[in-house]
Amino acid sequence: MKTTIPAVAGLLDLTGKVALVTGAGAGIGRGIAGRLAEAGAAVAVHYRGGEAEARSAVATLQAAGRKAAAVPMELTDPQSVEAGIASVAKALGPVDILVNNAARQTHSTLSEMGLDEWQAMLATNLDGVFLLSKAVIAAMIARKSGGAIVNIASISAMNSTITHGHYATSKAGLLMLTRAQAAEFGPHGIRANAVSPGVIYRQGIENAWPSGVKRWMDKVPLGRMGDVEDVGDAVLFLASPASRFITGANLVVDGGVSVLSTY
């Protein structure tokens, strides 16, 4: 079956598309939202507790002439998810691109961790992705519109560290969920891929995690921490026509750390 090949100039053009980015008020999520908006997408900025940050992100996008809206959702609550998707559709239109970025990340050894923390990690990082993706994909199938799902995983999914066992487990599960989504929903024209970032710079990280930053900088081949735009550009690629024949993939964005021996 012959497909229509877009011109190079239009490979990253998302004009007319609606993107929903979870946890997009700050950090990586805000960086992703900004890059998708710059490519022409109308962007729904999801938040749970950080309303002020989300509205600030929306204001920044709107000031640059982009279409954007802030949308609250509790991602582990099916009713809240349903209401949130309806709010996006009302404000911007139906979702064409879903970026599952919102995540929980705490530190604890497995031996000291309680069941409540284990379950909270899996609830946010897996249950929330499952519920929101299921709802968005059902709407895509009903519209026969196709679409793109990008799940934000982590290099921790492939190489866990002490105190990150629960987080790493949730992200490893997310990679398999991505592959399952790709297999099941590909016949409907829906692509599902993952992005696995390494250490991404945020203000104050050197003071908050000096030992980790030093280990990273001593090892990373490209000689720096990542920027949120590095992750945003990977998501943009996977959401765009440039990756039209890519699904079920995991794009690692870590400056080359993962290619090195860990022992």
Q: pLDDT digits over 218-259, tens only?
A: 999 999 999 999 999 999 999 999 999 999 999 999 999 999
d(CA 11, CA 81) in angstroms, rounded, equals 31
What are the phi and psi torsion angles at 171 (to 5°)? -75, -35
Confidence label for 262 from pLDDT (cuts 50, 70 and 90) = confident
* Residues in Cβ contact with 103 at an 8 Å cutoff, skipping those fewer than 6 apart: 23, 124, 125, 152, 170
Please tell me whether residue 261 adopts helix, strand or coil conformation.
coil
Give the residue carrying structure tokens 């940050």: 53
Can you tell me the mean pLDDT for 25-34? Answer: 97
With CA atoms as reference, report the closest residue to 228 among 8, 72, 57, 107: 57
d(CA 216, CA 16) in angstroms, rounded, equals 39
CA-CA-CA-CA torsion sign (135, 138, 144, 150): positive
In this predicted structure, what is the pLDDT of residue 27? 96
What are the phi and psi torsion angles at 163 (to 5°)? 80, 0
**Which of these is catalytic: 47, 167, 201, 263?**
167
Active site residue 201: no
In this predicted structure, what is the pLDDT of residue 263? 64
**Strand partners for 193:** 150
Range 53-71 burial, b when 16+ CB lie within 10 A, else e = bbbbbbebbeeeebbbbbb
pLDDT in tens, 119-131: 999 999 999 999 9
DSSP state of 127: I
pLDDT of 5 > 70? The answer is yes
Q: What six digits make up the tokens of 114?
A: 């309680």
Kindly give the interhelix angle for 27-38 and 51-63, rounded to the nearest 10 degrees. Answer: 20
Q: What six digits make up the tokens of 128?
A: 């929330």
pTM: 0.96
Q: Return the minimum-mean-pLDDT range out of 92-96, 112-116, 159-163.
A: 159-163
Q: Are 43 and 61 in contact (CB under 8 A)?
A: yes
What's the Rg (C-alpha) of the chain? 18
